[in-house]
Structure 1
Amino acid sequence: MKPSRLPHPLTALLILGAALPAAQAADIAPAQAIAKHAITHEDVWLMKRVGAPQPSPDGKWAVFSVTDSAYDSKEQWSDLWIKSLTDDTPARRLTFSKGGEGALNWSPDSKHLIFVAKRDGDDAGQIYRIDIAAGGEAQRLTTLTLGARQPKYSPDGKQILFISDVYPDTADEEAVKKAAKERKDRKYSARAYESFPPRFFDKWLDDKKARLFVMNAEAGAKPRDLLSGSKLVDLPGFGGAQGDEGQSLDAVWAPDGKSIVFAASTNRHEAARASSFTQIYALPLGGGEPQQLTKDARSYHGLKFSPDGKTLLTLTEEEAPGKVYDLSRLASFAWPMTNAQPKILTATLDRSISRIALPSDSKRIYFTYEHAGLEQLHSMNYAGGDQRQETSLPTGVINSLNAGGKAMVGVWESSVNPPEIYAFNGTPKRLTSFNVEKAGAIDWQAPEHFWFKAADGRQVHNMLIKPANFDPSKKYPLFSVIHGGAHNMWRDGFVLRWNYHLLAKPGYVVLLTDYKGSTGYGEEFARAIQFDPLKGPGDDVNQAVDEAVKKYTFIDGDKLAAGGASYGGHLANWLQATTTRYKAIVSHAGEMDLIMQWGTSDSVYGREVNSGGPVWSNLPVWREQSPIMQGGNHEKGTGFKTPILITIGELDYRVPINNALMNFAAQQRLNVPSKLVVFPDENHWILKGENSRYFYNEVHGWLAKYLK
């Protein structure tokens, strides 16, 4: 996939009563009977964090994680819970361990569940199995030096497929263990690289390589490396998508259980100068050389087989040459695959598919996609026809969706309803209530949506957030908060890092604008930032502010502020350099110089494509749309003048700290009121509880100082 399609793990989010079906609202006390309060950081941080539910193959149960958050990470717990899908009995806790569990997968007979956890005695995450039918403690199945991840039961339930890592030139576990000890015992700490990238978000990458393993589904069974000795893994660019836990090869069992189907790249080593493609391969269970099934300029991921085993479904991006964004479309192949050309099922839908679910009794594919702040349920037949919208809640977003048997479950949330588990068979039904009572006690309103026509004729979507105790007869300062990405969308969701209502709490109206480059509005809208990375989006943000001031009489047009993180930080810096309309700016993880960001970030090629050529090509965009190059334009009445709060995580390798240091240096050089806040133990996001509390206090303090 293109380097510009960057992961944006923005932690995601019903209007109580109004958005809930009446039958579900009945168990909530009338609004006037609840003593409501303005949201606090404790409300945001200590909400239960509900993970994606995994329904059992017989459709009778759903298992999911629930995190009991705490400000001290040592006091935080995460466990698995189980909920019946056949009656209304409450969910119950299934595990009692502090470390947490992930990568859940059911056995085909719905009696056992496997997951990955790091428990006492584990140096890395291992696969555990718990007997759902009989109960009891979870049993460790693997003891690999480098751990195991993404386990999946075989169709007959007798074997488990998973991913683990090996070191170069290691043929078995003993060799891996020996190599690990040698690295631990080294007297030096140097890192050496001969391919790009050397870093990812907050991690320096090492020489571990992802491999596919299979083992019998029992404790003590010996895992077998299916890719060992193959020519494919010896290619310099072999690998998968990089994540926090390492590379993913996106592997699934073939329906007959005799082979493995997976997606991998063979040109990852070209990441600094080309798009990386992930193609589909098949590998016999007995090992040997993988067979490449697709050979095109696409990337494939999210592989799933239809319940009848006759169709392989996958999400795919075209990877169009010279373009900065490609829609994720849904494609299918007849199985066994006889034609390497995919059938694009959503060719006429100008949206990226987020996720799909395949109930066993249905002849339809269910899917979600982003649109104007929402993410709702849709379906189509297996030929890609009869696309239609299914019954969805009118607000919020579905942020996970899985099928098991006839059941379909997921997580639904909105900005005023933290995540809960829902069933999506017909009218959505809430299955859990971990956060309902706490959410019901907060004085908050759902976002108000509005659109305007941009100067170039595009329709731009916005959401407006009002503070607690809102009085339309009063005047409120406006805080325009800019999303990251840029290929992202403001979602009607419950957010941790830039919680809309917590930002609005002191008495601000918060404006959320999906500027050009955002997702949820079609491929061309997202591509519109090519050759215009900051000016065009910045103009949209400024016009959105003008439109909001004109539309809403309760906004004080003389008290405006703007801020954002990542790409939102880039734009915050751009606004500070090019307009003086704002009284205060907040910039987190914002770039200052396109050239410097190109050379120090963990992603370079997508930035080069976006600007039209390499940094040495002398293209004007590299200088003309770098905030630092506009900062001294005082003769034009602009330049760096607006007071700015600059925050950064010292471990941020996506937007490295040199950007923040340059920003602060420039502000101090020009005698601009400015403050630099560095979080030594944070990365691209502020993820620790007390750091988060401090961050919000700093933002609120800065705004209060200049929006009196």
Structure 2
Amino acid sequence: MTATKTLLASLLILGASAGTGHAAAIDPAKRAITHEDVWLMKRVGAPQPSPDGKWAVFSVTDPAYDSKEQWSDIWIKSLVDDSAPRRLTFSKGGESAHAWSPDSRFLLFTAKREGDDAPQIYRLDVASGGEAQRMTSLTLGARVPKWSPDGKQILFVSEIFPGNADEEAVKKAAKERKDRKHSARAYESFPPRFFDKWLDDKKVRLFVMNAQPDAKPRDILAGSKLAELPGFGGSQGDDGQSLNAVWAPDGKSVVFAVSTNRDQAARASTFTQIYNVALAGGEPTQLTKDGRSYHDLRFAPDGKTLFALTEEEVPNKVYDLTRVASFAWPFTSAQPKILTQDLDRSISRIALPADGKRVYYSFEHAGLEKVNSMNYAGGDKREEPSLPNGAINALNAGGKALVGVWESSINPPEIYSFNGAPKRLTSFNVDKAAAIDWQAPEHFWFKTPDGRQIHNMIVKPAGFDPNKKYPLFSVIHGGAANMWRDQFVLRWNYHLLAKPGYVVLLTDYKGSTGYGEEFARSIQYDPLKGPADEINWAVDEAIKKYPFIDGSKLAAGGASYGGHLANWLQATSTRYKAIVSHAGQMDLVMQWGTSDSIYGREVNGGGPVWSDLPVWREQSPIMQGGNHAKGTGFKTPILITVGELDYRVPVNNALMNFAAQQRLNTPSKLVVFPDENHWILKGENSRYFYNEVHGWLAKYLNN
């Protein structure tokens, strides 16, 4: 058996056996979780260790129900002793994109402070202290700063308006746009929207400047044919497009990954290739010429190897594993060496300690995520010492230090060291978590009638008594390329949902990640029926396996793809007494035409919406809603919630859903959040959402 197969086998055994014991005795000193517990837990960001391995900086958010009262600051923790972490900044606005100077003295970050119309780059002298200095003053802001290897220059991402050659032109164009008397938006390429924002015509660029306050930045892509291509661009985020870029080891050029076919997003998969541009500018050199996408570029400490995460972008497939690729540097071949080809899992993160001996990485599997490693050639794969449950959602190296964030559903995020046995370095949420009556999820697997192995977790309520009977709430994850993880979450928090006295069932139906490429791809041409069947089978298995579940009191709900499946369950089954659907699609054709992402839906359906493929009609919930003659259709009481600013699953889905329910006289309630997008992100809105969900379930389950 190979090392990889041994590793997967051990994980399968762990997933099957974890948490199988009965509930522990109830501690009367503990209490049930509240929304305040969920919302006000401190939110610990990804740690960034210093190049000398002595320090780690990270963000900590002090949440508040009123966003004006929320603080987010940079904290620092020694990695060489047990001294307590301390706060470096004191500002409500928050900082991001922390970057250490090569000598571990200075820290760059981006922030929007007093006088800033857009986020700018700031420099903090960590060694000597004092106030942070503003490094940039660009009209359109600056983000993702990175030091040059010699610490004398800074690379960062910013934007320009079409046709602008310098900052003065950008400033003039910005004023002209602000002074316009019309508010119209015009588009000639797709997409016009992203999540909760209408997009504009800004163009992403890479800038370099001397590492001195107010030094003049220089656009190193200016005048290049590459940057003028209609499809040139990077990944879209809340702050605009971003280009994944790193300094070459000699500091004489910049290596970056970029797409050149973004303008084809409505009719083709977009992908990113690797380029190299000289520090002096000029035409970038294309280093890779294949159908892959590359991102998370980083050089080995000795500068002789370029590592990247990559997806193959297989034509007409809906999901491709993320693998680790490497190239000799300087480039000797455009063909990558795929180091994790034998691992049927997507890699989440890689880290490269300064000893130059091993690549550390993590990947999803059956609700967990752990630290693993391999040598630079991709051999000698092994599982590193990790905690037995939970998940790592950030992993970074600095010097020989390896740090990350670890969390579980009953352990909110904290910073950990992974040099040897995992060691917790912070305790921001430990005391508050210890006061809550909650249990780790219990894992179980079952085999479907067609032979597929399905992983599940169940979460029990506070004060759980195995001799009592509890209603079951099957909560469905979104994605579908996603996985239920043993982690602490704000939205659809497992224990808060279970609080009124429900057992929560979390099923990784086909289409989920963490179980291999074929498993994730298996929803192609079967977007709703197959996954919903597996959710129903999981409910059957849970009722059979756990005598404390009351099989006569069932509910189901979810958000995004989970909302799609909730709508499908309501249309095709009458076994549930209540349904909750947030951001759920009702019609595949309508969702294809109004979402901010369309081509992947077409690939998943097997062809365009105007084809004669039956899936577009047969797996649209709205088309099944009137099947009362078959004993199904829209009968189950349903709570429909949606953010009015959701452009991923637009509000028209919820309006159609509510209209159909009311037309058929089905008990239904529509809740619209005017100031929310795909997720419920504001504190009081979140509190109201949970109250609505609990109220709806209580109305139909507690009788």
- Give the TM-score normalised by the residue count of structure 1: 0.95
Question: Cα distance 1:109–1:633, how it changes in 2: closer, same or farther (>3 A)?
Answer: same
Partner of 1:556: 550
**1:396 aligned to which of 375, 390, 401:** 390
Amino acid at match of 2:681: L
Q: In the alignment, does 2:316 pair up with 1:332?
A: no
Q: How does 1:282-293 map to 2 (within 5 A)?
A: 282-293=276-287
Shift of 1:35: 1.9
Q: In the alignment, does 2:625 pair up with 1:627?
A: no
Q: In the alignment, does 2:250 pair up with 1:256?
A: yes
Shift of 1:33: 8.1
Partner of 2:13: none
After the TM superposition, which parts of structure 1 deviate over 4 Å for at least 4 consecutive aligned residues?
30-34
Q: Distance in 1 between matches of 2:401 and 2:58?
A: 15
Partner of 1:642: 636
Q: In the alignment, does 2:646 pair up with 1:652?
A: yes
Partner of 1:25: none
- Paired residues of 2:302 and 2:356 also in contact (CA < 8 A): no
**2:609 aligned to which of 610, 615, 632:** 615
Partner of 2:3: none
**2:59 aligned to which of 65, 84, 88:** 65
Q: Distance in 1 between matches of 2:26 and 2:479?
A: 40
- Paired residues of 1:328 and 1:352 also in contact (CA < 8 A): yes
Give per-residue Cα distances to partners, 1:635-682, cap 9 Å, x unaligned.
Answer: 110000000000000000000000000000000000000000000000
Shift of 1:362: 4.0
Give per-residue Cα distances to partners, 1:438-464, cap 9 Å, x unaligned.
Answer: 000000000000000012211000000
Shift of 1:472: 0.2
Q: Distance in 2 between matches of 1:242 and 1:327?
A: 21
SS in 2 for 1:615: coil
Partner of 2:588: 594
Shift of 1:361: 1.2
Partner of 1:313: 307
SS in 2 for 1:134: coil
Q: In the alignment, does 2:208 pair up with 1:214?
A: yes
Shift of 1:293: 0.3
Q: In the alignment, does 2:459 pair up with 1:465?
A: yes
Amino acid at match of 1:54: Q
Partner of 1:4: none
Partner of 2:234: 240
Q: Distance in 1 between matches of 2:182 and 2:444?
A: 58
SS in 2 for 1:617: coil
Q: In the alignment, does 2:35 pair up with 1:41?
A: yes
Amino acid at match of 2:600: G
SS in 1 for 2:543: helix
Q: How does 1:261-276 map to 2 (within 5 A)?
A: 261-276=255-270
**2:145 aligned to which of 138, 148, 151:** 151
Q: Distance in 2 between matches of 1:80 and 1:692?
A: 26
Q: Distance in 2 between matches of 1:130 and 1:487?
A: 39
Q: Distance in 2 between matches of 1:90 and 1:288?
A: 48
- Paired residues of 2:300 and 2:356 also in contact (CA < 8 A): no
Partner of 1:687: 681
Shift of 1:595: 0.2
Shift of 1:144: 0.3
Give per-residue Cα distances to partners, 1:397-451, cap 9 Å, x unaligned.
Answer: 0000000000010100000000000000010000000000000000000000000
SS in 2 for 1:616: coil
- Paired residues of 1:650 and 1:682 also in contact (CA < 8 A): yes
Shift of 1:618: 1.6
Q: Distance in 1 between matches of 2:293 and 2:485?
A: 26
Amino acid at match of 1:401: L
Amino acid at match of 1:420: E
Shift of 1:34: 7.8
Q: Distance in 2 between matches of 1:298 and 1:65?
A: 33
SS in 1 for 2:227: helix
Question: Does 1 or 2 have the higher relative contact order (CA < 8 Å, sep 6+)?
Answer: 1
Q: In the alignment, does 2:272 pair up with 1:278?
A: yes
**1:369 aligned to which of 363, 385, 407:** 363
Q: Distance in 2 between matches of 1:138 and 1:396?
A: 36
Partner of 2:190: 196
Q: Distance in 1 between matches of 2:356 and 2:406?
A: 22
Q: Distance in 1 between matches of 2:340 and 2:397?
A: 20
Q: Distance in 1 between matches of 2:127 and 2:492?
A: 42
Shift of 1:245: 1.3
- Paired residues of 1:201 and 1:683 also in contact (CA < 8 A): yes
SS in 1 for 2:273: strand
Q: Distance in 1 between matches of 2:689 and 2:27?
A: 34
Q: Distance in 1 between matches of 2:271 and 2:474?
A: 37
Give per-residue Cα distances to partners, 1:199-229, cap 9 Å, x unaligned.
Answer: 0000000011100000000102000000110
Q: How does 1:476-555 map to 2 (within 5 A)?
A: 476-555=470-549
- Paired residues of 2:269 and 2:313 also in contact (CA < 8 A): yes
Q: Distance in 1 between matches of 2:446 and 2:131?
A: 57
**1:604 aligned to which of 582, 598, 605:** 598
Partner of 2:665: 671
C-alpha RMSD of matched pairs (Å): 1.1
- Paired residues of 1:483 and 1:568 also in contact (CA < 8 A): yes
Amino acid at match of 1:594: L
Partner of 1:356: 350
Q: Distance in 2 between matches of 1:483 and 1:531?
A: 19
SS in 1 for 2:610: helix
**1:84 aligned to which of 57, 78, 81:** 78
Q: In the alignment, does 2:572 pair up with 1:578?
A: yes
- Paired residues of 2:26 and 2:463 also in contact (CA < 8 A): no
Q: Distance in 2 between matches of 1:391 and 1:140?
A: 41
Q: Distance in 2 between matches of 1:607 and 1:267?
A: 18
Amino acid at match of 1:294: T
Q: In the alignment, does 2:401 pair up with 1:407?
A: yes
Q: Distance in 2 between matches of 1:179 and 1:140?
A: 24
Shift of 1:92: 0.4
- Paired residues of 1:149 and 1:164 also in contact (CA < 8 A): yes
- Paired residues of 1:34 and 1:441 also in contact (CA < 8 A): no
Q: Distance in 2 between matches of 1:37 and 1:75?
A: 27
Amino acid at match of 1:399: N
Is there any run of 5+ residues in structure 1 with no aligned partner, and where?
Answer: 1-17, 20-29
- Paired residues of 2:99 and 2:145 also in contact (CA < 8 A): yes
Give per-residue Cα distances to partners, 1:369-398, cap 9 Å, x unaligned.
Answer: 000000001000000011111111000000
Q: Distance in 2 between matches of 1:241 and 1:564?
A: 27
Q: Distance in 1 between matches of 2:528 and 2:27?
A: 48
Shift of 1:31: 10
Q: Distance in 2 between matches of 1:245 and 1:390?
A: 36
Partner of 1:443: 437
Which stretch of the first structure deviates more once superposed, 241-250 or 159-168?
A: 241-250
Give per-residue Cα distances to partners, 1:561-619, cap 9 Å, x unaligned.
Answer: 00000000000000000000000000000000000000000000000000000000020
- Give the TM-score normalised by the residue count of structure 2: 0.96
Q: Distance in 1 between matches of 2:126 and 2:74?
A: 12
